[in-house]
Amino acid sequence: MPSTPKGRGPTRGEQVRIIGGEWRSRRLRFPSAHDLRPTPDRVRETLFNWLGQGLPGWRVLDLFAGSGALGMEALSRGAAWVGFVERSARVARALEKNLAGLNASPERFSVWSMSADHWLSAGPETLGGPIDLVFLDPPFRHPELLQSALDVLAEAPWLAEDARVFVEGASLESLALPDGFVVSRQTRAGDSRSLLLERCD
């Protein structure tokens, strides 16, 4: 799905398509919101080629959820649980509605309507186990959110030892990788760059 031009939100509600797994080809509607820019189909396809098409048993955190495209893709591909963190209450409600429309078991997901930095300071207390995969895709015009979230993750005791972190942004040249992370894969699509990070000793 084409990305929303930077600095503008879509004029109407939009749709996102799940591209693989149990809910393949299902289209989900999400509301117009400033800075809401779903990860394009092509990038999601590349990401799940990197990860493997199925994620059975994985515990996943979609930290800047927006439309929820990444987290729902993970659920569709067998993730055991996905946590969605979305600062807009209206968008968070749409996430819950779409998950209900997919008949997703309530035990397999949680939705928090709060900012990522607030969740990182409070939300981890509610986790039921280590997180295997984190999606970091903040608004392109706020790259500082990406750096601060990654710095917190580097010290997070709830992040699995072999966890992976998917990072997407307009420009990642200035991103400083914390100790313990390496870039395993990377790609470009239009005005965005994506990295898959892995933890290392």
- Please report the DSSP string for 116-162 in residue order: HHHHHHHGGGG--S-EEEEEE---TT-HHHHHHHHHHHHH-TTEEEE
Q: Which pLDDT score is estimated for 188?
A: 86
14-199 maps to CATH 3.40.50.300: no
Q: pTM for this one?
A: 0.88
Domain spans in the chain, listed from the N-terminal domain onward: 14-199
Cα–Cα distance between 168 and 140 in angstroms, integer?
A: 9
The two tokens of residue 24 are 């393949």
pLDDT tens-digit series, residues 152-190: 999 999 999 999 999 998 777 778 999 989 999 998 877
Confidence of residue 9 (pLDDT cuts 50, 70, 90): very low
Burial grade of 106 (CB within 10 A; 0-12, 13-18, 19 or more)? exposed
pLDDT tens-digit series, residues 71-105: 999 999 999 999 999 999 999 999 999 999 999 99
Helix or strand holding residue 89 (H, E): helix 89-101
